[in-house]
Amino acid sequence: MRLLARAAEAVAAFLLAVIFLAFVLQIALRYLFDLPVGWTAEISLVAWVWLILWGSAFVLRDEEEIRIDLLKALFGPRGQRIVASIGSIAIVLLFALALPATWDYITFMKVEKSSYLKIRFDWLYSIYLVFAVAVIGRHLWLIVNAARGRAQAESTHIGSL
């Protein structure tokens, strides 16, 4: 599993490098060669969308997420696990209920292509489906660990699944 976590981090680092290189290339082409191009901005945007959703799905640890846990702070350890479980159950249900519509929309988007690179939108936005399934898996794992009596910080890195 540690190897999978490292691979996920490598993909995120690669996407960040793509964004950086496209940005530098765009500046060079525009200001050094007076050749403004749009495909570099499109690459940056596509890589940014993939970076955010890939990173949220596979790289970001649970304790690194920003949460408002005012209600959870009112309870002791057992109550915190129950509140966390209720929140995770809600997230699992909402994402699971949205999966069929998400699939339909993404597959429908095969009719559209990006402006410069002509990337089909179903390929471009397929990462959202991966993200949604990963969120469901992460929160199912949180529910299992809460039922086992484990604290969230002990077991929430997606790479530990």
Q: What is the pLDDT of residue 84?
A: 87
Domain count, the chain: 1
Q: What is the pLDDT of residue 150?
A: 75
Q: What is the pLDDT of residue 154?
A: 44
Mean pLDDT by 10 residues, the chain (161 residues): 92 97 95 92 95 94 76 85 91 97 95 93 95 96 89 47 39
Determine the structural domain holding residue 65 and report its residue range: 2-160
Q: What is the pLDDT of residue 155?
A: 42
**Cα 75 to Cα 81: distance, rounded to the nearest angstrom:** 9
